[in-house]
Amino acid sequence: MLIAGEPSGDLLAAELVSALHDVCASNPRFFGAGGANMSGAGVDLAFDLTQHAVTGISDVLKNYFKFRRLFNELLALAIERKPDAVIGVDFGGFNLRFGHAVKEYVRKHPGAGWNPKIIQLVSPQVWASRPKRANLLAADYDLLLSIFPFEKDWYAKRVPKLRVEFIGHPMLDRISRPASHASRLEKTSPIILLLPGSRKSELKKHLPVMLPAAKQICAKLSGAKITIVLPNENLATLAKSLGVDFEIQIGDLPRALAQADVAIASTGTVTMECAFFGVPTVTLYKTSWLTYEIGKRIVTVTSLTMPNLLAGEPVYPEFIQDAATPENIANAALELLQDDTRRQKIRSQLDKIIASLGEPGAVNRAAVAILGLFK
């Protein structure tokens, strides 16, 4: 059983299904909840969970009863079909509770003859906030598959009984990295990417800041080209309703990043893709007042931008909540566009970050580790 609640997790789960087919001598069967990629990989989906992705505590509270219903449906399905393994793919808030619920059922029904392996692919960011959640993972999970190098040591110091395997980053298998970072700004028209996120709530928060910032950049750099990259048509339709009059590209982010001079991106998975392509990036994140007020009291890391955390220093300029103004973002982007020395330093830092992610083959290593639980 696989559960993925976001587009990035849906893709990763589909890749894992393919890898498990490759390394498993028998013919494994898969069911659960996810999106189009999982369905295409042959997963029998109870429903498309990626259509319900939200961010922030306030959005979760607004959708509490819907998520409780979906959660209970999946738990009933797990109990009915009794899979050998329950694999959560990212979507940590939901999947940690789900893994715990499955283990609680097993503990209360020892005669049911069902005790699945509980696995989480991609560590929840317990190292960033609420670190005591690591104890819940240790109590309920048989295996945690990590894609960032520092996580294994972090868990080993706090919950040594939890089995954690660093598999490397799946991004390394999906796309080819440019051989060099020759200056793209030799062309007369700089290309700036806007990457507002992959959820409706992120577009609604980020585009009202990104769009005026982009217009300020265009006013100071004649010929600048702005492209917004979104993962699907639904988000493109939403973006147009929010006043977007720049070019919108659906999917194929690697092609856009290979040509980009600078990106303006929401903090999250996409910042690692920007780093992979050596693109200097301004990052931002805005959320509801409630989520921010709670978040600033529990988040312990110095940055929400993963390349900054991996480097241990602010490689990418970052603007959170009230600091994420069009003026701040436009000025930071213009500085990156106009300061060649700064861009070269950033690219050198990004090379070191990507080198720390290990070798290609992450999903195959995940599949082997999962099957190893049954030997």
Sign of CA dihedral 152, 154, 156, 158: negative
Quick count: other Cβ atoms within 10 Å of Cβ 366? Answer: 29
**What φ, ψ does residue 48 adopt, rounded to 5°?**
-85, 100
Q: What is the mean pLDDT of each run of 10 residues along the chain (375 residues)?
A: 94 97 93 96 95 63 80 97 97 94 96 95 90 93 96 96 96 80 61 94 95 96 94 93 94 93 94 96 91 77 92 96 97 96 95 94 97 93
Q: Which pLDDT value is given to residue 292?
A: 74
Q: How far, in Å, CA of 313 to CA of 254, rounded?
A: 25
Confirm if 246 and 217 have CB atoms less than 8 A apart: no
This prediction has a pTM of: 0.85
